A and B are shown apart, each in its own frame.
Chain A
C-alpha cells in the first residue's frame, strides 16, 4: 500500500499555516487584520460544527448558543465572579461541553427535522436567557468584556488578535484533522453512512454522536470567547438563530465533511458582507440566496467540488479529502 505523501491532512495544515503566516503581507491597513481574525474565529466554530454535521452527519440549528456561552463566560467571569479572562475562557468551554453532554443524549436520539428543530429550540432558549437576564448580562444591548491579560501581557490590537486567533484556528484544525485518521473519525463517518452497520460492527453510535456534539460545542465556545475578548464587547445576538444559520451555512457552503471546507465557508460568509458594505441592507437577502443556491444546486459545497475536479484526486482522493 503506497504511502501518500504529503497526506491531504498535512497539506491542509500546511496551506492554512501558510495562509495565516503570509496573508498579512497583503494587508493595506489594520482593518484587514480584524476581518481576517473574524474569519479565523468563525472558521474555528465552523471546523467544530463540521465534526458534528460533516463527519457524524447530525445537524445543529442552535450552535450559536454554545458560541454565546463561551462569549458571555469571558464577560461574566471577570465582571461578576472575579475570575480572570483566561480562566473564564476555560470555564466557558467546560460549561458548553457539559451542557452539550447533558442535552445531547436525549436530543441526539431524534432524527432529521426533529433533531434540527430541537437544536434550534435549545439555541434560541440560550439566546433568550442571555437577553433577559439583563442584571447579569446587560440585556439586549450587551455588555463590556475586559481585556485578556496573559502573564502580564495585555492582549490587544488587531494585529495581535490576528495571530492569536490564527494560532487557535491552526490548533483546532490540527485536532480535527487528527480525528479523521483515527478510530473516532472512522466511527463517526461510519455512523453517518449507516448507523445500523456501524452498530453491528460494534460502534457505540449514541456515545460517538454525543462525543461529536460535545467537541463541536467546545470549539464554538472557545471561538465565542475569542470574539468577545477581541472586541471587548458582546451582544446576545451572537447566540441567536441567525448566527446559528450562518454557522450551518459556512459548513455547508464549504463542503460538509471537509475540514478545509469549513474554513473556506467561514471565509466566504465573513468576507462577503465586508465586500458589500455599500449594500449592507442587502445582507439578509444575499445570505438567503446563498443558502438556497448551495442547498439546492451545490449541495457538495466548494472544497469537495473543487477536489473532484482535480485529476488524480477523483475517487480515492476525494473520498479521503481532509
Chain B
C-alpha cells in the first residue's frame, strides 16, 4: 500500500507539470492552430533563470518573478518573430519552425548558462511528510498546489474576463472573432505570453525536485504534447486530465514494470491515442467536411 501511494503521489506531482505544459500547448493551439514545440523551453527558462538569478544574489521570490517575466518575453518574441511571419504556412511547416525555435532557445541557454544540472532549494524544506507509509516531499504539495492555483486562475480568466472571452472566441472561430472587432494578433500574442508564464511557473515549482538543465525542455515538450493529445487536443480540461494521467502511467509503469523505459510511456501513449482514439478523451470529434 505505501508503495502504491508513493507512486501515486510522484505520478501526480510530475503529472501536474505535464498538465501545465499541456495547458500551455492547448492555449496556443486554440488561439493559432500551432503546435508549439518550444513549450518545454518555457519550463526550462523558468527553472534556469531562477537558479542563475538567485545565484547572482537576487532573493528567491524576486528571482522567480524575473524568470516568469523572462519566459513571457521569450514567448512574445517567439510569436512576433517566428510565428507571425510564418502565418499561412502548413501545419507541418509551423511545427518545424517551433522545433527550430526550441533548438535555438536550447542553444542560447547552453551558451548563456551552462550544461550542468541545477536545483533550487525546496520552498518549505526537504523533510518528507509521511502519509500512510508513503513519503511525500513538501515540494510536491507546492507543485500540486501551484498547479491547481494556475488552473483556477486560468479558468477565471477565460470564463470571467472580457479578454478571456476574446481568447475563447478566437479559438472557436478566428474570422468571426475578427469580424466582431477582436484583434486576433494581440490575442495570439497573449496566448503565447500566458503559455510561457504557465510553463515558467511549472519549471520553478518542479526544479527543486527534478533539477533543471539547458536541455530539459525537449523531453518535457514531447510529454506535455502527449498529455494534450491524450486529453484531447484543444480541450483545457483534457490537457489537465491528460497530464495527470500521463504522470500516473509513467510512475506506475516505472514502479511496477521497468524504470528504464519510463520515457517510452509518453511516446507509446501518443501512438496509442493517434491510432485508437485520435480525438483523445475530451477532444471534439473532427467533422469530415465536404
Show the binding face of A for B, using Cβ within 8 Å.
59, 61, 106, 110, 112-118, 120-122, 124-125, 128-129, 132, 241-242, 245, 248-249, 252, 281-292, 295-297, 299
Size of the chain B interface, CB-CB below 8 angstroms: 39
- Whether B178 is near chain A, meaning CB under 8 Å from some CB there, is no
Q: Using Cβ atoms and an 8 Å threshold, which residues of chain B touch A124?
A: 222, 263, 267
Q: Mask for B221-237, Cβ within 8 A of A = 1, else 0?
A: 01001000100000000
Report the minimal beta-carbon distance from A282 to chain B, rounded to whole angstroms.
6
| Bound form: Cα–Cα A241–B267 in Å | 12
Among candidates B85, B93, B107, B270, residue contacting A282 with C-beta atoms closer than 8 Å: B107
- Whether B153 is near chain A, meaning CB under 8 Å from some CB there, is no
Q: Residue on B with the closest CB to A133?
A: B260
Most chain B C-beta atoms within 10 Å of own C-beta, residue among A114, A282, A288? A288
Do A289 and B222 touch (CB < 8 A)?
no
Show the binding face of B for A, using Cβ within 8 Å.
35, 82, 85-86, 89-93, 95-97, 99-108, 110-111, 218, 222, 225, 229, 260-261, 263-264, 267-268, 270-271, 274-275, 278
| Bound form: Cα–Cα A114–B90 in Å | 13
Among candidates B82, B110, B274, residue contacting A114 with C-beta atoms closer than 8 Å: B274
| Bound form: Cα–Cα A241–B266 in Å | 15
Among candidates B85, B104, B110, residue contacting A289 with C-beta atoms closer than 8 Å: B104
Do A288 and B278 touch (CB < 8 A)?
no
Whether A282 touches B111, Cβ cut-off 8 Å, given contacts A117-B274, A291-B99, A292-B101, is yes
Among candidates A132, A245, A289, A296, residue contacting B99 with C-beta atoms closer than 8 Å: A245
Do B92 and A296 touch (CB < 8 A)?
no
Do A297 and B85 touch (CB < 8 A)?
yes
Do B100 and A288 touch (CB < 8 A)?
yes
28 sample A-B contacts, Cβ–Cβ < 8 Å, listed by A number: A106-B275, A113-B91, A114-B278, A115-B92, A116-B95, A117-B35, A117-B229, A118-B270, A118-B274, A120-B222, A122-B267, A122-B271, A128-B264, A128-B267, A129-B264, A132-B260, A252-B96, A283-B107, A285-B103, A285-B104, A285-B111, A286-B107, A287-B107, A288-B107, A291-B104, A292-B82, A295-B100, A296-B86
Report the minimal beta-carbon distance from A234 to chain B, rounded to whole angstroms.
20
Q: Using Cβ atoms and an 8 Å threshold, which residues of chain A touch B222?
A: 120-121, 124, 241
Q: Residue on A with the closest CB to B38?
A: A288
Q: Residue on B with the closest CB to A291?
A: B100
Do B263 and A290 touch (CB < 8 A)?
no
| Bound form: Cα–Cα A115–B229 in Å | 13
| Bound form: Cα–Cα A309–B261 in Å | 51
Do B103 and A287 touch (CB < 8 A)?
yes
Instruction: Please report whether the interface of chain B is mostly helix, strand, loop or mixed according to DSSP.
Output: helix
Do B107 and A121 touch (CB < 8 A)?
no
Q: Residue on B with the closest CB to A129?
A: B264
Among candidates A114, A242, A292, residue contacting B104 with C-beta atoms closer than 8 Å: A292
Q: Residue on A with the closest CB to B78?
A: A292
Q: Using Cβ atoms and an 8 Å threshold, which residues of chain A touch B85?
A: 296-297
Q: Residue on B with the closest CB to A131?
A: B260
Q: Using Cβ atoms and an 8 Å threshold, which residues of chain A touch B96?
A: 245, 248, 252, 291, 295
Do A288 and B95 touch (CB < 8 A)?
no
Report the minimal beta-carbon distance from A305 to chain B, rounded to whole angstroms.
16
Do B86 and A295 touch (CB < 8 A)?
yes
Q: Using Cβ atoms and an 8 Å threshold, which residues of chain B touch A286?
A: 107
Instruction: Please report whether the interface of chain A is mostly helix, strand, loop or mixed according to DSSP.
Output: helix
Do A117 and B225 touch (CB < 8 A)?
yes
Q: Using Cβ atoms and an 8 Å threshold, which residues of chain B touch A248?
A: 96
Report the minimal beta-carbon distance from A26 to chain B, rounded to whole angstroms.
31
Q: Using Cβ atoms and an 8 Å threshold, which residues of chain B touch A249?
A: 100
Those 7 A-B pairs whose CB atoms lie nearest each other, nearest first:
A288-B104, A285-B107, A291-B100, A284-B107, A288-B103, A292-B100, A121-B267
Report the minimal beta-carbon distance from B41 to chain A, rounded to whole angstroms.
10
| Bound form: Cα–Cα A249–B100 in Å | 9
Q: Using Cβ atoms and an 8 Å threshold, which residues of chain B touch A113?
A: 35, 91-92, 95
| Bound form: Cα–Cα A161–B280 in Å | 49
Report the minimal beta-carbon distance from A213 to chain B, rounded to whole angstroms.
16
Do A121 and B103 touch (CB < 8 A)?
no
Report the minimal beta-carbon distance from B289 to chain A, rounded to whole angstroms.
14
| Bound form: Cα–Cα A106–B272 in Å | 11
| Bound form: Cα–Cα A320–B146 in Å | 58
Q: Using Cβ atoms and an 8 Å threshold, which residues of chain A touch B95?
A: 61, 113, 116
Q: Residue on A with the closest CB to B214?
A: A284
| Bound form: Cα–Cα A114–B270 in Å | 10
Q: Residue on A with the closest CB to B275?
A: A106
| Bound form: Cα–Cα A125–B262 in Å | 11
Q: Knowing that A114-B278, A284-B103, A284-B104 are A-B contacts, what are 15 other residue pairs whose CB atoms are under 8 Å apart, sorted by A's residue number?
A: A113-B95, A114-B274, A115-B92, A117-B229, A121-B268, A122-B271, A124-B263, A132-B261, A282-B111, A288-B103, A292-B82, A292-B104, A295-B97, A296-B86, A299-B93
Do A121 and B271 touch (CB < 8 A)?
yes
| Bound form: Cα–Cα A59–B99 in Å | 14
| Bound form: Cα–Cα A241–B108 in Å | 19
Q: Residue on A with the closest CB to B92?
A: A59
Q: Residue on B with the closest CB to A279?
A: B111
Q: Residue on A with the closest CB to B114?
A: A281
Do A117 and B270 touch (CB < 8 A)?
yes
Do B100 and A290 touch (CB < 8 A)?
yes
Report the minimal beta-carbon distance from B188 to chain A, rounded to whole angstroms.
16
Q: Using Cβ atoms and an 8 Å threshold, which residues of chain A touch B102?
A: 288
Q: Residue on B with the closest CB to A118?
A: B274
| Bound form: Cα–Cα A132–B263 in Å | 11
Q: Using Cβ atoms and an 8 Å threshold, which residues of chain B touch A245?
A: 96, 99, 103
| Bound form: Cα–Cα A70–B257 in Å | 29
Q: Using Cβ atoms and an 8 Å threshold, which residues of chain B touch A121?
A: 222, 267-268, 270-271
